[in-house]
A = this chain, B = another copy of it.
Amino acid sequence: MSVTAAKGFTAAGIAAGIKDNGNPDLALVVNNGPRQAAAGVFTSNRVKAAPVVWSEQVLKGGTASAVVLNSGGANACTGPLGFQDTHATAEKVAEVLDGHSAGEVAVASTGLIGIRLPMDKLLAGVEQAAAELSEHGGEKAAIAIKTTDSVHKTAVAQGDGWTVGGMAKGAGMLAPGLATMLVVLTTDADVPSAGLDTALRAATRTTFDRVDSDGCMSTNDTVLLLASGASGVVPEQDAFAEAVRTVCDDLARQLIGDAEGASKDIRIEVVNAASEDDAVEVGRSIARNNLLKCAIHGEDPNWGRVLSAIGTTSAAFEPDQLNVAINDVWVCKNGSVGEDRDLVDMRYREVRITADLAAGAESAVIWANDLTADYVHENSAYSS
């Protein structure tokens, strides 16, 4: 259902020849209105790809009438010429779509850093995609933005007379702030850009910003939310925000489930923290500990590595009051040996780590992956 689940949107996904292997690599999503409100959240990496710089400007106006996305090249670290390429892409979209302006066309790119895009193929692809725009094109668009993703990712939530749908790509370089992801969400609810922005920021803060496959922050992360108003329904902000969060959570979980080379999805819940910030800091520290990630891969409930990760943070806690459960077995109590580690069953893909800081009442959940030889293989051969 993807980005065309909501009324007022058309989409297409085609093979423009940007990827050498001939797979689909260009997606176009068009908001046919009547409203064209939009909001966006972007990578916090200071080295931003050209399309991120461009789209941040577009979204400042609170309006986006279309989004063009390509895989096969990130257009990052490509200098002023790379930025011109992004600009030319937006101009081309405006040209082939009647009544659109380039300043309202968001651009997103994903793939290798440091190479220019083949603009002849890309611009011809925009024409082809425009010709294939359809109310049923959401699935094809989701397929066209895949890079090392093994499956395309879509999600939908239904409101009372309105819908939020979306697509995502991302399989590596996943880290908070945001993960290496392109996400486009659409809704036919009648929500102004300020309402979209509030809902989107709240949703990404507890979903995409809390998945961490490998601690590596991307240059291209982009999450867009477009509203057509085509349902004619003005939703309650809370209900709308919850629907956006549901779709983001679903897509974020799909990203972790498809992370490069991973054999385990690790749900890290930090409880009894003095503050939510403390809980997030501790969760991320655990999520990024390579030794722990290897242990989880080996189905080894190595709680000592959890404690050593917690110990590197500035969160409020006393070392001799820490408790850790792995798959609900409290293998560490009061900073020392707890229940028998042989009771921990780690055969399944999902592994749950609970870290109890015994310092307050706040909590947070971070999703991560294990570290595997397959991850090393995929990422040591990616650009060669």
Contact = CB atoms under 8 A, between A and B. Distances in A.
Contacts of A377: 373
A312 to B, nearest CB: 5
Nearest to A298: B380
A290 B382 contact: no
Interface in A308-333: 308-313, 317, 319-320, 322, 332
A205 B231 CA distance: 63
A307 to B, nearest CB: 5
A322 B47 CA distance: 10
A32 interface: no
A114 B331 CA distance: 10
Report, as a range, how many residues of chain A touch the other chain: 35 or more
Contact of A334 (B79, B173, B380): B79
Contacts of A215: 288-290
B336 A114 contact: yes
Contacts of A383: 295, 300, 302
A305 interface: yes
Contacts of A218: 308
A151 interface: no
7 contacts: A45-B311, A46-B311, A47-B307, A78-B337, A113-B305, A216-B309, A218-B308
Given A114-B304, A291-B216, A297 B376 contact: yes
Contacts of A114: 303-304, 307, 332, 336-337
B384 A113 contact: no
A338 to B, nearest CB: 9
Nearest to A336: B79
A335 interface: yes
A216 B308 contact: yes
Nearest to A217: B312
A372 interface: yes
* Interface secondary structure of A, over-half rule: loop
A58 to B, nearest CB: 20
Contacts of A384: 298-300
A376 to B, nearest CB: 5
Contacts of A302: 113, 382-383
A383 B304 CA distance: 11
Contacts of A289: 215-216
A207 interface: no
A244 to B, nearest CB: 27
B308 A219 contact: yes
B380 A294 contact: yes
A76 interface: yes
A260 to B, nearest CB: 9
A77 B307 contact: yes
B310 A47 contact: yes
